Amino acid sequence: MSIILLRANQVRNLKGVDIEPHAQLNIIFGENASGKTSLLEAIHLLSTAKSFRTHRIQHVIQHETDKLTVFGRLQTGPHTHQLGIERSRRKTEIRVDGQGVNQTSVLTRHLPLQLITPQVSSLLEQGPKMRRRFLDWGVFHVKHDYLANWRAFHRVLQQRNAALRQHQANSQIAVWDRALVESATSITRSREAYLSGLMPILQDYSETLIGQQPELSFQQGWPQDENLANLLAASLPRDRDRGHTQYGPHRAELVFKFNGIPAQEVLSRGQTKLFISAMQLAQVSHLAREQGLRCVIMVDDLAAELDNRKRAALLDLLLSTQAQIFITLTEASLLDIPREQGHKMFHVEQGEVEERLPSQAVVLID
Ligand SMILES: Nc1ncnc2c1ncn2[C@@H]1O[C@H](COP(=O)(O)OP(=O)(O)O)[C@@H](O)[C@H]1O
Ligand SMILES: [Mg+2]
């Protein structure tokens, strides 16, 4: 899949974007505050109906206007699809191939997207929620019944938690436990299977980018050798006290270590950025291998914290994933592009996005 046409209106400071991206590599350059990240935000809206910078859509909608729209035409093999999103403060409208759609996941299914930003280190540094999201992104795209399972699990979990808080009888709670164990088992199996496919690729990418291979421990959300049904029963008094369920896949965690030490304690900032990029690129490659599905990868401010050699190594790996790539840079000269590599350059200035011929913008290397 690749985006062959992108239109955006009233997204931040952008002025009527209308571009035809390159199927492989797109370089977006311009001064600070020109609108580069906003352009990535528009693409993100098309995949998730959300911004990655804020939960408040009114901050993304252009000042003095009341709604934003983004439209994209995608090429997926021989097929084209049209995705459209319109968001105002009150309403979100999604259209896929001209039909109204009420689930964001339909967009995400069409447009699998990975974003690498300078703030990306939060994936290792913040709580487990971000890492579960990372994991679930992959499983969602690889295993098509996963979303339904995941939703079923969370519905039951909420019902069990409500029952705990309402001091319902043990027999009543046991009813939820059975359903909970069933979907918990299925979610956990899918996650394990996904990780065992992903890890060899991640080892390889991590070696390429930072010269070291991580060890992963996947914590499923309850002690490895214990039976979840028994645990739920045994921890019922404590669950009642706390008003929520302590064990289950909603507590899963991914821990990455290098030589036995947690990644976030040994990696420098630059290495962290590269390692997390390796994690995301591994997901993209895995999806291409498993599903034959091409993703979009966006790298905001690629040059930040990386020297010339590391930028080149990251670009190399990005290109090897076969994804459609969007990279932002303050100056086009910050990245050397191999001479034979097809690409397009877009210059952003005060919200205007214009295609530039590569020769006008960049130094090509052999
Ligand atoms: N809702 C909005 N309406 C209009 N302009 C906005 C809005 N939100 C932010 N801006 C402006 O958009 C500009 C572009 O921001 P950004 O995309 O982050 O630039 P870059 O990534 O190129 O540094 C900034 O000058 C910012 O002040
Ligand atoms: Mg920016």
Residue 354 sits in a domain of what CATH number? 3.40.50.300
CA of 89 to the centre of ligand 1 (A): 18
Are 192 and 174 in the same domain? yes
End of a domain among 232, 267, 292? 292
C-alpha of residue 150 to centroid of ligand 2, in Å: 34
pLDDT tens for 102-151 read 999 999 999 999 999 988 788 999 999 999 999 999 999 999 999 999 99
Instruction: Please indicate, yes or no, whether residues 268 and 161 belong to a single structural domain of this protein.
Output: yes
Cα–Cα dist 139/200, whole Å: 16
Residue nearest to atom 25 of ligand 1 (CA): 33
**Number of domains forming the structure of the chain:** 2
Residues 63 and 121 in one domain: no
Q: Which of 9, 10, 11, 13 gets mutated to test ligand 1 (max ligand atoms within 8 A of its CB)?
A: 13
Query: 23: which 2 tokens?
Result: 């199927």
User: Mean pLDDT, to the nearest integer, of 34-41?
Assistant: 98
Name the residue range of residue 48's domain.
1-112+294-366
Question: What is the position in ligand 1's atom list of the atom closest to the CA of 301?
Answer: 21
Instruction: For residues 171 and 146, state if they share a domain.
Output: yes
**Whether residues 216 and 301 fall in one domain:** no
Residue 120 confidence (pLDDT): 78
CATH of the domain at 136: 1.20.1050.90
Average pLDDT over residues 240-245: 96
Q: Ligand 1 — pocket residues by CB below 6 A?
A: 12-13, 30, 32-38, 59, 61-63
For residue 330, the ligand 1 atom closest to its alpha carbon is 22
What is the residue type of 250?
Answer: H
User: How far does residue 214's CA lie from ligand 2's centre (Å)?
Assistant: 30
Last residue of a domain, one of 292, 317, 341: 292
**Closest ligand 1 atom to 31 CA:** 22
CA 347 from chain centre, in angstroms, equals 25
d(CA 149, CA 27): 39
Among 292, 320, 340, the domain boundary falls at 292
- Provide the whole-model pTM: 0.94
Q: Mark whether 159 and 186 lie in a shared domain.
A: yes
pLDDT band of residue 89 (cuts 50, 70, 90) is: very high
Q: Is the pLDDT of residue 359 over 80?
A: no
Query: How many whole angstroms separate alpha carbon 50 and alpha carbon 198?
Result: 27
Summarize pLDDT for 269-319 with one digit per residue, the tens.
999 999 999 999 999 999 999 999 999 999 999 999 999 999 999 999 999
Same domain, 77 and 6: yes
